[in-house]
């Protein structure tokens, strides 16, 4: 029988504005208190933005759901004071194994280079993630988290600077209205907010269904990602034309000895029937053996799509996470991509709300994150097509690749069991200043900064933490001029937006040389780094006019 997990119930409280019958205007209202909505609220607080977050429920998500969290989102959460706790609670892993029928085809290492604070990937049930973020929201004076608040309608003008969005909200105490300078819709793939503003959500649906089982057991499997193509313990049905439907199984370990198992089902499977314990338990016994002891914690069936909203901004409403883009689960690109949406968005909103940048800076959110979404959709669709070939010819091609991968290294990059989530560099962003000098390595404009061990304030630490430590509370986050050596460099500004100097060799020490190597630096090298820790520009020597021009470009001016 199903093991019952006790989910916390959070208290509904009537807001003062509803109780007093007044129309209140808020800088930011967030729709949805899932991982992306909660991250948004905490990022707003970090940047000094008061935020109201509403959700029509009053508990965390049921089941493990989003379970794999990659290095870059962990770095974002570390900036918010949560990353280390997630890593401690979660299960860190970096090795994956791929099997075809009975045999291992090959294995891979997600993080072959050392010297990063955060691991390549952790597995952690979504409810643990949300519990920690809810607690952090409740500790913040800038976050107003409102449970049992259901958005009924939203109206707005054309999004010009003097317009606001008006939200009609239902609570246990009735219906009231509130206003927002900006609304951030984080209410998932079936977003009501998107429907209310007629946002177009287009893409491809897939017929394939997958059964998720969270299984509590003491197992001898290592802490790795195991993926089977056509496993002998889970064979596909044969169609009338003789084509055997391909199948796959994915195994992950989570916290507290909970194992996540995904079984691919047939196109004509009945989701309600497949979720019944009497159907699930035999599948798990076939995989683990008839004597295996386990309990079921949660079971679900999902069918997925690869699609995105046509524009991430609709007037005063901005979409993030699954409300903006939906991908297949292969590669852990859902929640991880959503966190990077918020990383990109909130510092821009803060500058616009403070009158330090034009509204065009908000439009760069669509430019950069739609580009990333398209990259994720492409990778997700390719993974899906490899995992679930739809014809005999496609299946023969896939199986030939798997057979070759056993012995031929050239074939292994062609095996696609889900290209795991990595950040998409904003290589064509209008906020970048293009290189005019030769640099090696990956830290080109548009890329997120790579971490490295450093000594900062006399203590061993990490480069990204050193950048975080320079954040001015209540600001969008200062830009940083990262300078190597004692060459000329000085702070620059555009209006009230500053870029401060951080010197390698004075303010922090690169005792291992890793930072210098990763940034292909030499004495005099300068990087301009955005508040979201992305490279905006780089030069071999400092020039105040060049640096100021690059900063102005970062503000969409």
Closest CA to 488 of 505, 501, 507, 470: 501
Write the CB contacts of 54 (distance below 8 Å, at least 6 apart in sequence).
Answer: 29, 30, 31, 33, 146, 149, 150, 151, 169
Residue 419: predicted pLDDT:
64
Cβ-contact 522, 530 below 8 angstroms: no
- Listed in sequence order, the DSSP H helices in 264-359 are 271-274, 277-288, 334-353
- Residue 169's Cα: distance from chain center in Å? 28
Note the pLDDT tens digit of each residue in 486-537.
989 999 999 999 999 999 999 999 999 999 999 999 999 999 999 999 999 9
| Cα(427)–Cα(444) distance, integer angstroms | 8
Q: What tokens appear for 432 in the block?
A: 């970048």
As a dihedral over the C-alpha atoms of residue 425, residue 431, residue 436, residue 441, rounded to 10 degrees, the angle is: -20
419 within 8 A of 86, measured Cβ to Cβ: no
pLDDT at residue 162, as a whole number = 59
Question: What is the rounded CA–CA span in Å between residue 453 and residue 70?
Answer: 19
What is the number of helices (H) and of strands (E) in the chain?
A: 14, 27
Are 30 and 37 in contact, with CB atoms under 8 Å apart? Answer: yes
* pLDDT at residue 1, rounded to an integer: 41
Q: Encode pLDDT of 128-153 as tens digits.
A: 999 999 999 999 999 999 999 999 99
Largest separation between any pair of C-alpha atoms in the chain? 75
What are the backbone angles phi and psi of residue 11, rounded to the nearest 5°? Answer: -75, 135
**526: DSSP letter:** E
Indicate the DSSP class of residue 31. Answer: E
Q: Which residues pair with 260 in a beta bridge?
A: 214, 252
Model pLDDT, residue 66 = 82
Do 476 and 354 form a contact (C-beta atoms < 8 A)? Answer: yes
> Which of the residues in the chain have pLDDT under 50?
1-3, 159-161
**What pLDDT, on a 0 to 100 scale, did the predictor assign at position 2?**
43
**Burial (CB count <10 Å: 0-12, 13-18, 19+), residue 202:** exposed
- 437-445 long-range Cβ contacts below 8 angstroms, 24+ apart: 437/539, 437/540, 439/520, 439/538, 440/520, 441/517, 441/518, 441/519, 441/520, 442/518, 443/518, 443/519, 443/520, 443/527, 443/535, 443/538, 444/535, 444/538, 445/535, 445/536, 445/537, 445/538
Between CA 455 and CA 505 the distance in angstroms is 10
Identify the CA nearest to 343 among candidates 302, 323, 305, 372: 372
**β-strand pairing of 25-31 with 68-70:** unpaired
- What is the pLDDT at residue 333? 66
CB atoms under 10 Å from CB of 140, counted, come to 16
Two structure tokens written together for 458:
């006399």
Q: How far apart are the first and last CA of the chain?
A: 61
Q: Which SS3 state, helix, strand or coil, does residue 280 take? A: helix
Q: Where are the beta strands (DSSP E) in 186-331?
A: 201-216, 225-229, 248-253, 258-265, 295-309, 313-314, 317-319, 325-326
The answer to whether the beta carbons of residues 178 and 17 sit under 8 Å apart is yes
**CA dist 44 → 31, 129, 370, 497, 499 (Å):** 14, 18, 21, 18, 21
pLDDT score at 158: 57
* Phi-psi map region of 96: left, alpha, beta (phi>0 left; psi -120 to 50 alpha): beta
């Amino acid at each position: 029988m199903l093991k019952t997990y006790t989910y916390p119930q959070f208290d509904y409280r009537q807001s003062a504005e509803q109780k007093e019958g007044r129309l209140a205007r808020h800088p930011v209202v967030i729709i949805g208190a899932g991982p992306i909505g909660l991250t948004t609220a905490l990022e707003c607080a970090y940047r000094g933005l008061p935020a109201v977050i509403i959700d029509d429920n009053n508990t965390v998500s049921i089941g493990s759901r989003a379970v794999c969290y990659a290095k870059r989102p962990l770095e974002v959460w570390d900036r918010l004071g949560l990353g280390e706790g997630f890593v401690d609670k979660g299960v860190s892993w970096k090795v994956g194994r791929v099997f075809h029928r009975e045999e291992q085809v090959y294995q891979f290492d997600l993080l072959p280079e050392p010297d990063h604070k955060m691991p390549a990937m952790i597995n952690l049930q979504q409810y643990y993630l949300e519990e920690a973020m809810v607690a952090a929201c409740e500790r913040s004076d800038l976050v107003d988290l409102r449970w049992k608040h259901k958005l009924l309608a939203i109206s707005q003008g054309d999004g010009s600077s003097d317009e606001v969005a008006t939200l009609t909200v239902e609570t246990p105490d009735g219906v009231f209205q509130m206003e927002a300078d900006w609304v951030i819709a984080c209410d998932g793939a079936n977003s009501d907010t998107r429907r209310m503003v007629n946002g177009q959500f287009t893409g491809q649906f897939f017929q394939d269904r997958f059964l998720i089982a969270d299984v509590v057991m003491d197992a001898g499997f290592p802490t790795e990602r195991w993926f089977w193509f056509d496993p002998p313990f889970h064979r596909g049905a044969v169609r009338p034309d003789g084509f055997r439907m391909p199948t796959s199984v994915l195994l992950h370990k989570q916290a507290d000895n909970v194992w996540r198992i995904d079984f691919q089902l047939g196109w004509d499977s009945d989701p309600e029937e497949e979720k019944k314990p009497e159907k699930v338990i035999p599948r798990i016994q076939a995989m683990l053996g008839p004597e295996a002891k386990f309990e079921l914690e949660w079971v679900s069936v999902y069918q997925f799509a690869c699609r995105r909203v046509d524009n991430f901004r609709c007037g005063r409403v901005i979409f993030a996470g699954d409300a903006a883009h939906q991908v297949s689960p292969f590669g852990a690109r859902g929640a991880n991509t959503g966190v990077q949406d918020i990383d990109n968005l909130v510092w821009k909103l803060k500058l616009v709300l403070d009158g330090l940048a034009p509204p065009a800076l908000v439009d760069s959110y669509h430019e950069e994150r739609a580009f990333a979404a398209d990259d994720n959709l492409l990778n997700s669709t390719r993974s899906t097509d490899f995992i679930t070939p739809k014809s005999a010819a496609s299946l023969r091609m896939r199986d030939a690749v798997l057979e070759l991968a056993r012995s031929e290294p050239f074939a292994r990059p062609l095996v696609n069991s889900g290209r795991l989530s990595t950040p998409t560099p904003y290589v064509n962003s209008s906020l970048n200043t293009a290189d005019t000098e030769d640099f090696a390595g990956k830290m080109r404009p548009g890329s997120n900064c790579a971490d490295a061990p450093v000594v900062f304030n006399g203590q061993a630490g990490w480069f990204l933490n050193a950048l975080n430590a320079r954040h001015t509370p209540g600001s969008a986050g200062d830009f940083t001029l990262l300078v190597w050596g004692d060459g000329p460099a000085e702070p620059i500004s555009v209006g009230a937006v500053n870029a401060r100097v951080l010197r390698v060799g004075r303010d922090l020490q690169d005792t291992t040389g890793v930072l210098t190597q990763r940034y292909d630096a030499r004495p005099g090298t300068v990087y301009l780094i955005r508040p979201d820790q992305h490279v905006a520009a780089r030069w071999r020597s400092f020039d105040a006019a060049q640096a100021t021009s690059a900063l102005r470009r970062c503000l969409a001016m």
